[in-house]
Chains A and B, each alone.
Chain A
Amino acid sequence: MGQRRRERAEDRISNLPDHLLQSILHLLPLKSAVRTDLLSKRWRGLWLNVLLSATDLDFGPDFAAAESPDQFSATVDRYLRLHGNSPLRRLRILFSPFDHLLPAIDTWVAVAATKRVEEFDLDLSQGIIDGVEGDYMDGRGQYLLPAALFRCESLTHLSLSRCDFSRPAHFAVFRRLNELNLCRVNVTDEALQELLVDCPVLERLSLMNCRLLGAVRVVGEPELQLRALALVDCPGIDELEINAPKLQSFVYSGGVCSQIDFGGMPELVDAKLSLVAGDSMEADYGDAIAQLSQVRNLSLCSGTLACIVANEEFEAEDFEVMFPNLHELQVTMKHISKEYLACVYDFFRHYPSPFLEKLFIQVASQRCS
């Protein structure tokens, strides 16, 4: 056979010893590993080892894109089945509670519990939300979590979105739970109290869009281990009492509250407050803010600032609460206005911050310091 103009260069990668080829595949993200299935017969099925040895499975946006719900569900079923008895440390699923696929979701939760998963993120928040009411437009209810989840004592991180968190009567303590994120979950004030008791080593808690919360009391006996707390867009919250001796970070974003007690946060370092201004500015936040005077970093939106400055005591010229640790103040404004800037001025007049190093004023998406 004569010389061809372009000789086929040698395929050296396919001739590598098996263990080296496997090592290469293990260095690939699952999506890239699966693509090697097609390369040639030599490569077919090699990626399965990557799946089997994966301790972290993320059925997230990569998976969900361009697949129908039934296809997605079938793929997750198949991959979990292929995963067999291999250990799994972290599992994330991004989906929506389709009525006919609820049993499938039950299976996935059961598998996660059986495999003693440590980090579980069940995000069923996919869907279109009505901008006005804030409800989903698909008419589906929250996904009722199976009892298996509440017996999963291996959990250290749990994130749930659009789930019904009603706990079974004989609920085992989440002994190792370190972080809990609940979004669009039907947790009530009482359930929250119980949770704080039932998660003795909980350090990070975030509650987003939990509509049933009204009077939030983050207090606990014995001493709460909580270090970070975030309450975001929970429209019903009207009362807030935080007594968490180890809390270092606190984020609150939501409506104006009529009663606030921030007295129990002696270790607080970072605070971020963002209030959607209501019709009435009756509530004044002067006292509440004064209770945060130990913070190092403070972030306020202009609505919050306005509430603070509405404090009656501000009338008194000599009203003053020192912020001895404040290093950084960040103020977010919709637009720069004299009124808002006057608020910033008033803030410093009554809350002197002798060690302030940075002042950020963020307007829309711009940032200037």
Chain B
Amino acid sequence: MAKMIKLVSGDGAEFEVEEEVAFQSKIIKDIVADADDVIPLPTVSSKVLIQVIEYCRKHAAVNSFPLSPSSSAAAAASSSSSISYSKPVSDPALRAWDNEFVKLNNSSLFDIVIAANYLDIEELVDLVLETVADRIKGKQAQEIRRQFNIENDFTPEEEEALRRENSWAFQNN
């Protein structure tokens, strides 16, 4: 019977997860080592915690079956701990799953990355940051501002001066 860990979200909901799933989070692994298996996460809402657990469940399943050829390299690269930091994700099926997972609006992505950062789930942090970077790549500043609701607090003169400083970058692709 797999050892279960209880995670309690900021709004008081409780989630029981298998140890190996929860241990995708380095923070949780450290806390549990101190013989505490009910873990309050006051800064993480249920909605986000569910998504993070989903990610961890998927990645724990892949990491714990090193016999599958595509992830054997990953397993070989990682230490004996159940947390794998193999980068990049080598299994194409897993990568496809990840790409589906991050088809979220920007706000949800930021919720997840902040939670994953807090919980120290390195692969999930990287995944979300890459997704955000992809949404910035190739765009001009105005488009990026629109996408992310960034307020332009430069005066037109200031902005023009900045453009001139590195004019090569502002040519259109």
Contact = CB atoms under 8 A, between A and B. Distances in A.
B151 to A, nearest CB: 6
A24 B154 contact: no
Nearest to B147: A13
Interface string A22-64: 0110011111101111111101100000000000000000110
Given A35-B140, A38-B154, A66-B171, A13 B110 contact: yes
A347 to B, nearest CB: 42
B148 interface: yes
A7 B84 CA distance: 42
A65 B136 contact: no
A197 to B, nearest CB: 41
Contacts of B151: 8, 11, 40
B166 interface: yes
A75 B141 contact: no
Contact of B132 (A24, A40, A75): A24
Given A20-B113, A20-B117, A38-B162, A65 B150 contact: no
A11 B110 CA distance: 11
Interface in B111-131: 113-114, 117, 125, 129-130
A55 B21 CA distance: 37
A30 B165 CA distance: 15
Contacts of B113: 16, 20
A36 to B, nearest CB: 7
Contacts of A66: 167-168, 171
A24 B137 CA distance: 10
Interface residues of A, number: 36
B168 A12 contact: no
A32 B149 contact: no
Q: Provide the main secondary structure of the chain B interface.
A: helix
Nearest to A64: B168
Interface string B138-173: 111100110011111110000100110111111100
A63 B117 CA distance: 35
B132 A13 contact: yes
Contact of B150 (A11, A29, A32, A37): A11
A31 to B, nearest CB: 5
A30 B150 CA distance: 21
B66 to A, nearest CB: 29
B168 A8 contact: no
Contact of B110 (A12, A62, A65, A71): A12
A62 B170 CA distance: 10
A67 B166 CA distance: 10
A9 to B, nearest CB: 5
Contact of A41 (B133, B138, B154): B154
A17 interface: yes
Given A35-B139, A35-B144, 10 more contacts: A8-B149, A10-B149, A11-B148, A11-B149, A16-B114, A37-B162, A38-B163, A41-B154, A43-B150, A44-B162
27 contacts: A12-B106, A12-B110, A14-B150, A16-B110, A20-B129, A23-B125, A23-B129, A27-B133, A28-B133, A29-B137, A31-B168, A32-B136, A32-B138, A32-B139, A35-B144, A37-B165, A37-B166, A38-B152, A38-B159, A38-B162, A39-B141, A39-B145, A41-B153, A41-B154, A65-B171, A67-B167, A71-B167
